[in-house]
Amino acid sequence: MKTLLILRHAKSSWKDGSLADHDRPLNKRGEHDAPRMGALLHEEDLLPDLILSSSAVRARTTAQLAAEASGYEGEIILSRDLYSFDADTYLEALSALPDEYQCVMVVGHNPGMAELLSELTHCFEHFPTAALAQVELPIEHWAQLDDEEVEGDLINLWRPKELL
């Protein structure tokens, strides 16, 4: 059994129109929500073994703030490939992971994050910025994610606006 944590990047700023999409930072709400989701990881005892993140500034910052608030001290692997809006790209990255990792968090973008959740659980959920899903996967090897018949269980879905 493997655990996948799917975290959509927190709310980003559109203030500076001269910035490329990849370079947009978090706005104030995003700077508040990202560590809040990290604290939730700590409270729920869901510290990942590894964090994979899109290299986009808003995703990278979300991953860093969540990691700090959760107590995670491991590596955050940044990938330009995860600056993607397609679930298959995330599945490809996850299926290449070493099996030593039992719990992995991926930080990325919609619609890819919502599609990834849907593809793995057959649950169609609203997945706003900084939403965090906990998915249990009935696999022993990450490479098994290549099998289209893998169906995980959505254990929890937290949305920042629903947290007290």
pLDDT in tens, 91-115: 999 999 999 999 999 999 999 999 9
> Poorest-confidence range of 36-40, 78-82, 83-87?
83-87
d(CA 162, CA 158): 7
Which run of H or of E encompasses 30? Answer: helix 28-43
d(CA 47, CA 5): 10
CA torsion, points 71, 129, 119, 41, in degrees to nearest 10?
A: 20
Q: What is the pTM of this model?
A: 0.96
Q: Which residue has the tokens 């299926």?
A: 95
d(CA 82, CA 74): 19
pLDDT in tens, 1-60: 999 999 999 999 998 888 898 999 999 999 999 999 999 999 999 999 999 999 999 999
Write out the two tokens for 28.
Answer: 């104030």
Topology classification of domain 2-12+21-162: Rossmann fold (3.40.50)
d(CA 164, CA 161): 8
- Domain ranges in the chain are 2-12+21-162
